[in-house]
């Protein structure tokens, strides 16, 4: 209930009472930004893996052959960098690490076993999501920096072969790690039902927010009336423009 320093409700979040309660989580532009990032990350993984292991070289066929894979991969990387920069600027404040996050993480086993209620109440993002966010941020910086070093077509003259060797090794390791972070991210979204609609329709149900981000929901409800007013007539719960229950 408190609106203390932990307050991490964002301006565009909103709660619409009804049955079920609908909670706005992501704006349309945040979603577009997310899916551009997602698409480029997947394309980068596919084209990168083609050049990473011989048994995956066939993936270069998806991009029109080895030459085109080699050409397009760094450009998609540039797109990802700027797209993720957009996400970073949107989400970084809500992802700052709080004392409760360490506490929540200590209950990691409970959470994985489906006993989230034993862990502290969570704000807009839980500790796992924050770790994904910061891992992605750091890894993308490593990947773009090392990627530029090994982008021979334009930048081969600026570094020595010794530096390029380190860059290509770090690039490969960072890529492996980020693919694992991606697996965790995607798996969590699938495992925790009702999550994906946050990134497709932009909203979640009140029950989802209560179950997984109770502190965020409490703060939203306790927040200024502007944030919690229903968009249209409060009582017409079933006709809320596309906001029907998930299942």
Residues tagged active-site:
185
- Phi, psi (rounded to 5 degrees) for 204: -130, 170
Which of 2, 3, 67, 229 is in the footprint of another protein by CB under 8 A? 67
**CB 171, CB 150: distance < 8 Å:** yes
Of the candidate spans 2-10, 30-38, 60-68, 97-105, the one that interacts with another protein by CB under 8 A turns out to be 60-68
Centroid of chain to Cα 200:
13
As a whole number of angstroms, the distance between CA 122 and CA 116 comes to: 10
Question: In the complex with another protein, which residue's Cβ is closer, 90 or 214?
Answer: 214
Spatial CB neighbours of 31, under 8 Å, sequence gap ≥ 6: 199, 200, 202
The two structure tokens encoding residue 242: 């596309």
- Does position 57 interact with another protein (CB under 8 A)? The reply is yes
State which of positions 69-128 bind another protein (CB under 8 A). Answer: 69-71, 112-114, 116
Given a contact cutoff of 8 angstroms between Cβ atoms, the answer to whether 174 and 147 are in contact is no
3-state secondary structure of 209: helix
| Alpha carbons 184 and 87: distance in angstroms, whole number | 18
Query: 166 to 185, contacts with another protein by CB under 8 A?
Result: 166, 168-169, 172-173, 175-176, 179-180, 183-184
User: Position of tokens 């017409």?
Assistant: 236
84 neighbors 92 (Cβ within 8 angstroms): no
| Residue of 97, 191, 229, 236 that binds another protein (CB under 8 A) | 191
Question: In this chain, which of 11, 99, 153, 242 binds another protein, going by CB under 8 A?
Answer: 153
HSE toward the beta carbon, residue 199, CA cutoff 13 A: 15
With CB under 8 A as the contact rule, the residue among 7, 52, 88, 134 that binds another protein is: 52
- Which 197-236 residues touch another protein, going by CB under 8 A? 205-211, 217-218, 221, 228
Which residues are at the interface with another protein (CB under 8 A)? 15, 17-21, 50-54, 57, 60, 65-67, 69-71, 112-114, 116, 150, 152-153, 156, 161-162, 164-166, 168-169, 172-173, 175-176, 179-180, 183-184, 187, 190-194, 205-211, 217-218, 221, 228, 246
């Amino acid at each position: 209930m408190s609106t203390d320093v932990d307050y991490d409700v964002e301006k565009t979040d909103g709660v619409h009472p009804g049955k079920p309660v609908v909670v706005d989580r992501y704006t349309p532009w945040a979603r577009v930004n997310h899916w551009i990032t997602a698409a480029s990350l997947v394309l980068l993984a596919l084209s990168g893996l083609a050049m990473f292991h011989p048994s995956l070289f066939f993936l270069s066929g998806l991009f029109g052959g080895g030459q085109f894979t080699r050409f397009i991969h760094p450009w998609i990387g540039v797109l990802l960098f700027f797209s993720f920069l957009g996400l970073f600027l949107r989400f970084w404040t809500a992802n700052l690490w709080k004392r409760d996050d360490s506490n929540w993480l200590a209950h990691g086993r409970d959470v994985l076993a489906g006993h989230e209620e034993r862990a502290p109440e969570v704000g807009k993002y839980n500790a796992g999501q924050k770790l994904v966010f910061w891992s992605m941020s750091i890894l993308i910086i490593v990947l773009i920096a090392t990627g530029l070093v090994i982008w021979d077509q334009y930048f081969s003259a600026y570094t020595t072969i010794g530096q390029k060797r380190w860059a290509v090794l770090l690039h490969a390791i960072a890529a492996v790690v980020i693919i694992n972070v991606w697996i965790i991210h995607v798996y969590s979204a699938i495992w925790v039902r009702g999550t994906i609609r946050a990134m497709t329709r932009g909203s979640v149900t009140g029950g989802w927010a209560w179950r997984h981000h109770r502190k965020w929901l409490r703060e939203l409800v306790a927040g200024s009336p502007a944030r919690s007013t229903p968009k249209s007539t409060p009582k017409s719960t079933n006709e809320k423009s596309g906001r029907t229950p998930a299942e």
